Structure formats: structure tokens, C-alpha cells
Structure 1
């Protein structure tokens, strides 16, 4: 996560930074779509259903977190190489563990308030009297909310450090590392790399006993033990990004095939939608051959999108752009606090007599403006910015710096 690394040398890092920001910002648009899904209510309110909005949410959710974990793995190893193991642990404790502990109570309180508000909005302005009691909170049902990605990152960081330490103790000649690097080069030189990396996820999804196919990789947002599909999918992504950072040439190899990967991603996504048909998002897969075929198509689509977008970014987004840099800096804060804001906007537009697409765009636009304003006024120039992003930016640049720029 480059929002947590102060120096960003190289065009490759600019491209990956832009992608990381885009993956996090897609979370706003995806969660904004959930109140417009066809079928029974699964969200804070059930607004006018829209197939178009639901399809956008499906596609955005398909690749965004896998893409994020690939980039997180890449920059995780980069941080270890720059700061050493002790420095890496201190940095992750400050920038990942501490925000998880600090923001979880605040975010959870906001989500509970929005659900109460949404229940009243859907019941004529009063709270329903026959609502079922909330389930008891246990270790298996603990609500991590959308901050689960921080918790899972901590698991992956710990696993990566453990494997790194064990490998260093056992393979002092580094022969195994050299063999792995050679295998990575061979894999990345071929356009079939997404198919190889998709295999663990496809197997895990096909074996998932209760799987809601519309939602893709089951979100590990409850309980302290992530589900097998999430560990397989996101763990493979993180490990791939970590190993890819060992050799700069691998990113250049990925850039070679980006049009093929994006074309495959589009075709596979269409196949997934056809296989889903008119299935409601809250209806589980029937199992058997149909689930296996869908799992294979879905996993291949996930990795085709990931490879295609990284390759395209390395082709077109290697130059530093102020607007992209600003959003990259803001994206971490925005993702942490966005969900209660998005839910509040969904409740506010619920009663408006407008088409679903217009409401969804209103929710996205209003939430984005509030979130960006909060970042600019509360975070960017404050100690919170120094905490989350590693630096506190001044409100105004020093006069000497301005003179040097205009000289």
C-alpha cells in the first residue's frame, strides 16, 4: 500500500499506486450499488431495483480486492527490503493495526445507526416492533465490517515474514529462491499466467458448500478465521505480488499481454453473467457441475481483469499526475470511513421519486464529495495524515519551494 510508503521512486510505482487507489475507490461505487439489487433486502434499505446498477456492482466487485491484494503484496515486500523486518513490523503496526483498532468502534457505531435509520425509513418513519434481535457476537461471528481487509492483511504479513524467516534459515544458499524466480519468469512470459493463478480460487469456490455466486469470493467480514475461498483467492494474490517484487522484469512481462487479458476478462465476465441468469443475489449456488463451471469462469475472470488492468496501468499510467496523486493519498482514509457515509446517503435518497440509476449516481457523487472534503479538511494537513499516509502535508508550500518551481 503506497499510501503508507513515503518515497515512490519509478514509473512502475506510479502505475501501481494509481491502481491501488482505484481499487479502494471502487469500494464506494460498489457499496453504493447494494441498495438497488434485485431480490429480497440484504442492505440498509431496499430501493428501486436495477439490473444495470447490479451488473456494474458485480463487475466492480469481481476484481477490485484481488487487485488490491496483489499490489499490497508487492509493496509489502518493498517495505521489508527498505526498512528491514523490525522497521516493517513497526510501520505495519502503526499504519494497519492501529487504524483497525481505532476506527472499528467508530465505523461500527455509524453502521448500526444507519441500519436503525434505514429500518425506520422503510417502515413509514417508525421503527418496526417485530424486528428480530441481533445475533450474539462470538469469535466466529465477530463483525469486522469492511475493515476486514486490514485484519486479513495483518495475517498475510505475519505469514510472509514467517515464510521469509524460515526460508532464510533453511535455504542459506538461496537456490530455492533462484528456482522460484526462474519459475516466475517462465510463468509471466506466457499469457496463460492468469489461468495458473486462478486454479486455487476456482477449486476453493467449487468446493464452497454455501456460496452466493453473485457475490463472488465470500467476504471474510465476520469472524477471526477467514473462509477458505478468501484465503485461497486473496492469499494467492498477496503471495504473487510479494514474489513479483523480487524481479522488476516481471512487471514488464505483464505489460506485454494486457490487451489479451482484458479481452479475456470481458468474455469471461459475460459468461459469468449468463451462468447466473436471473438468479437473485441472495440465492445460493445449486452445486454440482453448474457451480464448478461458474467457479472456473469466475476465477479466470478475476485474474484476467487483474493482469489486464495492471498491464494497462503500466502502459498508460506511469507518469505522475497531481489529481491521481491526490486520490491515491486520499483513498486509504476514504475507504476506512466511507461505508457509514454511503449508507446514510442511501437512506436519504430512499424516498425520492427518481430512477434507480439516478439515485445511485447521487449516492456516489454526494458520498465522494463528503469523503474528499473530510480528507482535505481533517486528514491531509493533520496528524491523522501523518499517521495514515506517513506524512503531513502543509496547507501551503513554503515560499522558497515556490520560487524554485517558478525559476
Structure 2
């Protein structure tokens, strides 16, 4: 971490001579969000889905288990790392008050106003699934619902917005404190130490070093179901230790990367190595955990610690490798990618009820699982893209989510 003057200088360089980096990182962020649609669409075809998902299709797939597992390893760490990068950039650009207003509009407001509507749609999809499963009749007894208390609150897939708000608070507070102490000798020493630490992230062993805190947090998570990786706070307002460490570290690393973008150069050179290690470590974790979901908690022994370490190292290797890959090959402005990047936020917010409803509609058919998955993905993306273009992109809702947009200029481009 450098002084505020150095940080502003780097930001100026980014916006004047290296704007291609933003295209690559924007595309990666959209990639992470859209993978979530595939992740949820695949869940009804996983063996044992009746124990952890709303819809359990009678067509099961041995292929989708490893696909789900691999996506789940890196998707959210990658997203939170990019979120930290863009949050720091926004804070430098807008200042504290402007940043708070911006994140209140783009993150807090969608969470507070969108959650009741989306959760209601999810309930409707659950009722539809139960109606289809029982042959056109609703079951006489419904399963117990959430208590809507802090430790039993169904945030569903919007938990990532809640987690972002929790991470913004200490980040902004520390940034203000840091800026106020720039003349302190201790702060200057920490700046130099931070530069050395960030430079070490270009080394071969960096993902393994970063994996240690995450592995310990997972190891000490009681009743950890290791097949599903880091437990997410989707059913509680209290994120667990593993979520704080894993997603908090990713967010913090992204925050620091904005001031030390030279780290990206090392990732761009070694992206093939990082992805090779990521796939290798993930494959070994699959061998240890099994090719299909296991709902049994991992025994609290050395094997649990080893698995947690390899799992966390795979996630970091994916973050480094995919970022390097994106910065190498997604450097130019492409209208289609830009459009998808803009739409990805809306798509992810709205996709889950549509995915569940479509899964329920095709669940009793005799179609092949691949055709069903194509129908689920295609219909969900089509409806969300159409609604984004006609109801969101050039409206006040689009201004809330992505900022104001000039319709005529954008269409011409």
C-alpha cells in the first residue's frame, strides 16, 4: 500500500493509458456472476439433490458433479477479489461521501427493495415445484419455513450483497484512518512493507501462502461439509468464520491490488501455470471428496486439514490464473462483452426464481439432462436479457444498478 499521492498517480495512469485492464476485469466479474446461473441450473441434476435443492430431476448426471464442484471452488473468491479492486477504485474516484452514496444506491438499495420481491418469486417457484412433484396437488403439510431471525434469515443468492456491505464498512474506515496518518513514520514503514508483500504475490508459492488462513478457518468450521467448499451466509445474517476469512481475504487482496497493479504483470506471465495448478489441485480434491455430493461432515483429522489447504490453494490459483488470462486476451473494448458485463448484475439478481421454475417444469419429462439444462439456461438468459434491455438498461432501474446511460449514444455505439 502506497501513499495517497502515489495511489492517485497510478489511478490516473490506469484511466489514461491502461483502460484495457478495466475491460478484462469487467468481463471477469460478469463471468463470475453468469457462472452462478449455470451453477444453480445444474443443481437439480446432481445426485442427492432432493436433500439440498428445491427441485430434484429424475435425470441425473455424473458429469455435472465435477463441473459444479470446480465452479464452486473459485467463483466467489474471484468475484470478491474483483469487488475489492473496483471498490477501492470507486472510493479514490468519488471520495468517502460519494462512495457511500454510490454503494448505497447500487448495493444496499437492491438488497433492501429487491429481496422481498425476489424471495416472494422464489416461494412461488417452490410452490410450483411441489405442485408438479405431487402430480397437480399441493402437499397437505409444508416444510417448516425460516424464522426470519438473524440466525435464520433466507438471504438466498443475495447474500453476496449483504457480505459486500459488511466488507465496505471496515475497508472505508481503515482507508480514512490510513489517509489521515500519511505523515506518520509507522505508516511510511508499513507502506514499504506492504509493497514488498504485494510484490511477493507474483511468486510461484503465493497461492499456497494465501491458502493457509483459509484452510485453518475451514478446518475449524464445525460440521463442515467439505464437498460444498466455503459455507456461504445464505441462511443467516451472521457470516461464519470461513466466509469472513475466505471472502474477506479475497476482497482485501483486490483492494490492495488497485494500488499495486504491477502484480498483474506476474499473473499475466504465469496464468498457464496457475490454471494448470488450479485444475490439478481441484481434481485431487474431487478424488478425496468424491465425484458426487456428500452431505456428511468431514471428520476432524489431518485429512480434513489437507483437503482444506488444497481446496483453498486451488481457489487462489484460479483467481490468479483467470485474472492473468483475462488481462492478456480481453484487453480491447468489445460491444458484446461490454453489454453482457452491464447486464450480468441484473441477470444474477433475477435468475434464481426463473431457474427454479423452469427446473420444476422440465423435471418430470423424459428429455436428456443436457437438453433440459439447455432449456433452463436458455430460457433464463433470454428472459433476463430481454427484461434488462427493455425494462432496465435505459430506465431509472438501470441508473440505480449501473449508473445513468445515454440511450441514443449507446445504441449508436
2:105 aligns with 94
Alignment of 1:29 with 2:42, yes or no, is no
Query: What residue number does 1:297 align with?
Result: 310
Q: Is the 8 A contact 1:38 1:281 kept in 2?
A: no
Correspondence for 2:67: 56
- Partner residue of 2:356? 343
C-alpha contact 1:75 1:242 (8 A) present in aligned 2: yes
The CA distance in 2 between the partners of 1:189 and 1:120, in whole Å, is: 54
- Taking the aligned partners of 1:397 and 1:186, their CA distance within structure 2 comes to 41
5 Å matches for 1:374-393?
A: 374-393=387-406
With over 3 angstroms needed to count, the CA separation of the structure-2 counterparts of 1:84 and 1:176, relative to structure 1, is farther
Does the C-alpha gap of structure 1 residues 281 and 322 become closer, same or farther in structure 2, counting only changes over 3 Å?
farther
Structure 1 residue aligned with 2:206: 193
- Following the alignment from structure 2 to structure 1, what is the Cα–Cα distance between the partners of residues 34 and 406? 21
In structure 2, C-alpha distance between the alignment counterparts of 1:171 and 1:227, rounded to whole Å: 34
* Other-structure match for 2:249: 236
Number of paired residues? Answer: 394
| Aligned twin of 1:208 | 221
Residue 55 (structure 2) aligns with: 45
State the alpha-carbon separation in 2 of the partners of residues 361 and 180 from structure 1: 50
**Superposed displacement of residue 40, structure 1:** 5.0
3-state SS of 2:210 partner: helix
User: Structure 2: which 5+ runs fail to align?
Assistant: 1-14
Does the CA-based 8 Å contact 1:21-1:331 persist in structure 2? yes
**Deviation at 1:149?**
0.5
| Offset at residue 199 of structure 1 (A) | 1.4
Partners of 1:37 and 1:281 within 8 A in 2: no
Alpha carbons of structure 1 residues 177 and 83: separation in structure 2 relative to 1, 3 Å: farther
- Taking the aligned partners of 2:107 and 2:128, their CA distance within structure 1 comes to 30
Quick check: 2:41–2:376 contact (8 Å CA) kept in 1?
yes
1:129 shift after superposition: 1.8
Aligned to 1:3: none
For the Cα contact (< 8 Å) 1:53–1:357, is it kept in 2?
A: no
1:122 aligns with 2:123: no
SS of 2:63's equivalent in the other structure is helix
**C-alpha spacing 1:259/1:294, structure 2 compared with 1 (3 Å):** same
CA change 1:40–1:73 in 2 (3 A) is: closer
CA–CA separation in structure 2 for the residues paired with 1:273 and 1:133: 33
Q: Report the CA distance between 1:171 and its aligned residue.
A: 5.1
Question: CA-to-partner distance for each residue in 1:8-58, whole Å, 9 max, x for gaps?
Answer: 961111110000010001110000011111125121210122121122111
Counterpart Cα distance in 2 of 1:37 and 1:283: 16
Q: Where in structure 1 are there 5+ consecutive unaligned residues?
A: 1-6
Alignment of 1:315-394 (within 5 A): 315-394=328-407
Q: CA deviation at 1:279?
A: 5.5
How many Å separate the matches in 2 of 1:386 and 1:351? Answer: 41
Instruction: Tell me, in whole angstroms, the C-alpha distance in 1 between the residues paired with 2:95 and 2:146.
Output: 43
Deviation at 1:283, TM superposition (A): 2.6
Contact 2:66 2:292 in 1 (8 A): no
TM-score, with length taken from structure 1? 0.92
**Quick check: 1:137 aligned with 2:148?**
yes
Q: 1:280 and 2:290 equivalent?
A: no
Offset at residue 176 of structure 1 (A): 3.9
Deviations 1:330-382 (A, max 9, x none): 01111111111111111111121112222112211111111111111111111
| Pairing 1:10–2:23 present | no
**In 2, distance between residues paired with 1:280 and 1:190?**
34
Task: Tell me what 2:265 maps to.
Answer: 252
1:67 alignment counterpart: 78
Name which of structure 1's ranges 174-183 and 18-27 shifts more when overlaid on structure 2: 174-183
Rate the CA distance shift 1:345–1:393 in 2: closer, same or farther, 3 A: farther
